[in-house]
Structure 1
Amino acid sequence: TEDSKPKIKSTFVPGLAPPKIPDGEKVDFDDIHRKRMEKDLTELHTLIEAHFEKRKKEEEELIVLTDRIEKRRSERAEQMKIRAERERERQAKLAEEKARKEEEEAKKKADDDARKKMILSNLSFTGYKQTQPGTKRQTEREKKRKILNDRRKELNIDHLKEDKLREKAKEMWDWMRQLEAEKFDLQFKYMKQKYEITVLRNRVSDHQKM
């Protein structure tokens, strides 16, 4: 702009009047040449001062511009440092979250594997016991058979009178009701155990498919 351009400092150069040549006198050319030299030196001095003044101003503007550039560079470096620090924090949080999830998944998988092994072990042991001779299942049957044999009573009623026969009939009726109740309880327990085994087998099958 016009305002930013260095202004040349004006220096007053006094006007040199041309030497007067008196009538009938000799012209002093040396004096004329000296005055011309003085005028040229004065103008040269003025140009030199204007040049150095302009150069000084340009150097000052260059210093200001350099300081401004350095300030912006420093601010940008600080901004980049802050961004890099935030990115490091973000990456650290992501890595920490990933490690936490992997640890949770590994723990869950280990728990699931342990649960599957326990279920399979229990089922294998149950199946093994059921296929072996003299197992608990057979033992239970033998116990039931023995109990029924012990409960089986010989009817010795030939010598009983009517009132005793009625008592004996009532006793036999009560005994049959008790047997029916025990039979119902055993059937219920059997169905319940069968259902629990079926549920466990289905769970094992589902875990093996995962």
Structure 2
Amino acid sequence: MVPPLIPPKIPERECVDIDDIHRKCMEKDLLELQTLINMHFEQWKKEEEELITLKEHIERRRRKMRKEEEEAKKQAEDDAKKKKVLSNMGAHFGGYLVKAEQKCGKRQTGWEMKLWILSEHKKPLDIDYMGEEQLQEKAQELSNWIHQLESEKFDLMAKLKQQKYEINVLYNGISHAQKFWKGAGKGCVGGRWN
């Protein structure tokens, strides 16, 4: 704060010392100047601290935005990779299973066989750039295809049921024939002499 300015008093009826008045004016001006300089530096320090705080805040926001952008970019790349892998897996999984079977020389499990069949029957979906009408046509096409597959499944299940029945009939016939041959005593049973 600036101290209140008080003009120097000039004594009445005395000799006036001009040098003393000049010295006092200079001291007063110097004091005012020092006060103004101190106030200026204090204000400058506050502004400098505010500027540093603001710069730190801006830098934190920039880092956060860069981090969010990098994460979004990485997520988009991961999604694109997953989509590509899934589409490639669907297109090439059947070939992979055949190669794996040839390498290992083992029979496919039920799950592997299902995946192979699905990869053979799977049609690629290219719907990214289709309009609403084209999407409806594609949906109808897929619905018809599902009905066709369900019909084939029903036919295959009926055929499997019939084959199981025939196997049971044949097995019962073999069991009955073996009992007959065992009950006949000595003789040929299963291609061997007892």
TM-score (norm 1): 0.44
Structure with bigger gyration radius: 1
TM-score (norm 2): 0.47
